[in-house]
Amino acid sequence: MTDVIHLLPDHVANQIAAGEVVQRPASVIKELLENAIDAGGTNIKILVKEAGKTLIQITDNGKGMSTTDARLCFERHATSKINSAEDLFSLKTKGFRGEALASIAAIAHVELKTRQQDEEVGTCIKIEGSEVISQEVCVTPAGTTICVKNLFYNIPARRNFLKSDTVELRHIIDEFQRVALAHPNIQFSLLHNGSELFQLPDTNFRQRIVNIFGGKTNEKLVPVEENTAIVKIHGFVGKPEFAKKGRGEQFFFVNDRFIKSPYLNHAVTAAFEGLLKDKAYPSYFLYLDVDPKSIDINIHPTKTEIKFDDEHALYTILRSAIKHSLGQFNVAPVLDFDRDATLDTPYEFSQKGVTPPKVEVDPNFNPFQTERTGGGYSSSNFRREKPAGGSWESLYNGLGRSGSETGTRFEHMEFESDEVTGNLFGQSDETETGSTTFQLNKKYIISTLKSGILVIDQQRAHTRILYEELLKSITVTSAVSQQLLFPLELSFSNHEIKLLKEIKDSLEQTGFIFSEIKGDAVEISGIPTMISESEVAILLEQLLSDLENEVPGTGFSQVDTLSKSLAKGMAVKSGTALNSAEQQNIVNSLFACKETSLSPFNKPIFITLTVDELDKKFM
């Protein structure tokens, strides 16, 4: 029998390795950024075209590479970071396994230009699909520039799995923010299709957060700091009132490396217990400095998950540190048994003696006197005047006489009485007005049919109604807008502002009026009649999040997603009490829609229960 096991060719092995390292253009940017930081770069520039599908170029002013190193860096597992397996447990650098450049070169056209500081000329290497096309001497600035073109050109199946430019750019910005936040002392810039998205100078950690997420972020931050033998924690958490519906502003950094940890995330959430609204997530930007020997960062290909020696101690310390900061800055209520300085005796009164109050008595006062005597006052001054009749008996004169006007009026007076009915729960307003709907558990609307009953999910039904109205408003007619007496001022990041400008015309068709979009601030002077002023910020944040993650391009599909997101945000929520008229309006409007059975997200809106089905329940 012939042998069936054989070694894979190098180019096939590289392509398989690329599947672990390079999932999308953002993965390439992450690996190349980490290499630039390890090389000692203090000014790093990223240039991206078509969300990285066409071009990714990263330039740094680091120490560069020699001619031999430039050629060797594209070999698998070629690294300068480790020499033995024990070095894996004392790592202080970003990359260390040496598979990034080899994997990238296997699935793209790569051009590398590098020069060391003390050299006059540099090296230029061009590689396509792991094959070196050329290597020559070139003139280039000190440092390294890597261009990655036509990603996945030789693996069409992988390229087809990439999302739209909007979604891929969102992932690129996420990776860029994670690296930029971890290294505030390095200058970063990011350009996409010639448009500058970020220009970050070297600064401190707090200012770096403000530069990325907008100027209004500064007032939302609460500093956190704790030093122990196990871990040193510093950073910021967001105030509870600024918690968001998404998890976009949650960052953990361990030894200057971004990580994901559901366990530590739970510790932060536990510290905010009782301070957050339902389905709201706190913002946090937390650095953890630990001994490199107490963690293992080699358990995941992208190195975003690490293993701690003592997670339980970290959990407790982190939760306590955040609770302490929230209480220290009067964000959370605390029990304070210290003396209150506001109750102290003022300085100017501290040397004065106590003087008893003076009691003045009128010796001539007599409560039984009916007239004023001397300087005193009698009780007659405070006595109510008697009625003109002279005595209380005169008030009832004439009540007993049948011929008097008063008696006649009382004889014909009618009195209300409770009507006795056979209804177990009493007569309701709905029955009197002829309504055939009622609300169950503040979530479902129950209506009657000839053959049984109809159970409608009020949130999904209202979402379908609003979706079709918004779709019509955006594509056919303009919706009605309500003017605000005082314009709303909202703050967004640079990328969100750019996205908001792209959908500005569509939003104005739904009823929004933007009086000014400048810098990171948006001024809104009009909103749709279907939403309240307090819901605008939440609605726009959710809309931008949906667009960044779900829009598969422009045109009708973007309008469709815009309508879905707005309808979801404006729809009446489960748990909202509706009166009879509102219930009836939802039922009537639902069955006037083009599609009545499914919500915009393909969920069933209603179910029917026939009399036969109900009869079977009693058998």
In SS3 terms, 514-563 reads as EEEEECCEEEEEEEECCCCHHHHHHHHHHHHHHHHHHCCCCCHHHHHHHH
Looking at the domain assignment, is residue 301 inside a domain? Answer: yes
Query: 140, 168, 200: which is the final residue of a domain?
Result: 200
Looking at the domain assignment, is residue 484 inside a domain? Answer: yes
Can you tell me which residue has the tokens 């993965």? 27
Do 101 and 172 sit in the same domain of this protein? Answer: yes
What was the pLDDT predicted at 236?
A: 92
Non-local (6+) Cβ contacts of 276 within 8 A are: 240, 243, 269, 282
Looking at the domain assignment, is residue 25 inside a domain? Answer: yes
What was the pLDDT predicted at 345?
A: 61
Structure tokens at 67: 């001619």
Can you tell me which residue has the tokens 């408003």? 473
Q: How far apart are CA 35 and CA 45, in angstroms?
A: 13
Looking at the domain assignment, is residue 494 inside a domain? Answer: yes
* Domains held by the chain: number: 3
Domain range for residue 269? 212-328
What CATH number is associated with residue 286? 3.30.230.10
Q: CA nearest 538: which of 220, 244, 241?
A: 244
Do 174 and 225 sit in the same domain of this protein? Answer: no
Q: Lay out the sheet containing 221-227: strands in order across.
A: 221-227, 232-238, 284-289, 250-254, 257-259
Helix (H, G, I), strand (E, B) or coil at 277: coil
Tell me which DSSP letter residue 242 carries: G
Do 151 and 231 sit in the same domain of this protein? Answer: no
Write the CA distances from 203 to 46, 123, 125, integer angstroms.
19, 33, 35
What was the pLDDT predicted at 548?
A: 72
What was the pLDDT predicted at 409?
A: 52
Q: How far apart are CA 500 and CA 24, in angstroms?
A: 25
Q: How far apart are CA 256 and CA 239, in angstroms?
A: 24
Q: How far apart are CA 15 and CA 129, in angstroms?
A: 9
What was the pLDDT predicted at 429?
A: 46
- Full 3-state SS string of 403-464: CCHHHHHHHCCCCCCCCCCCCCCCCCHHHHHCCCEEEECCCEEEEECCCEEEEEEHHHHHHH
Residues forming a β-bridge with 192: 48, 195
Q: How far apart are CA 373 and CA 369, in angstroms?
A: 8
Do 466 and 498 sit in the same domain of this protein? Answer: yes
Cα-based torsion angle of the residue sequence 139, 140, 146, 149 in order, rounded to the nearest 10 degrees? -50
Residues 35, 17: contact at Cβ < 8 Å? no
Do 133 and 233 sit in the same domain of this protein? Answer: no
Looking at the domain assignment, is residue 420 inside a domain? Answer: no
- Pairing state between β 257-259 and 250-254: antiparallel
Query: 200, 231, 262: which is the final residue of a domain?
Result: 200
Do 443 and 563 sit in the same domain of this protein? Answer: yes
Do 182 and 262 sit in the same domain of this protein? Answer: no
What CATH number is associated with residue 482? 3.30.1370.100
Do 137 and 32 sit in the same domain of this protein? Answer: yes
What CATH number is associated with residue 44? 3.30.565.10
Do 474 and 578 sit in the same domain of this protein? Answer: yes
Q: CA nearest 430: which of 442, 421, 438?
A: 438
Do 68 and 186 sit in the same domain of this protein? Answer: yes
Write the CA distances from 514 to 235, 489, 499, 612, integer angstroms.
35, 10, 14, 55
Write the CA distances from 198 to 170, 177, 410, 446, integer angstroms.
13, 10, 86, 53
Looking at the domain assignment, is residue 172 inside a domain? Answer: yes
Residue segments in the chain with a per-residue pLDDT below the cut of 50: 373-382, 403-404, 406-407, 421-434, 551-556
Residues 366, 356: contact at Cβ < 8 Å? no
Do 153 and 284 sit in the same domain of this protein? Answer: no
Looking at the domain assignment, is residue 495 inside a domain? Answer: yes
Can you tell me which residue has the tokens 């990603």? 151
Looking at the domain assignment, is residue 411 inside a domain? Answer: no
Query: 328, 349, 383: which is the final residue of a domain?
Result: 328
What was the pLDDT predicted at 187?
A: 93
Q: CA nearest 74: which of 136, 121, 127?
A: 127
Do 572 and 493 sit in the same domain of this protein? Answer: yes
Non-local (6+) Cβ contacts of 395 within 8 A are: 387, 389
Cα 339 from chain centroid (whole Å): 39
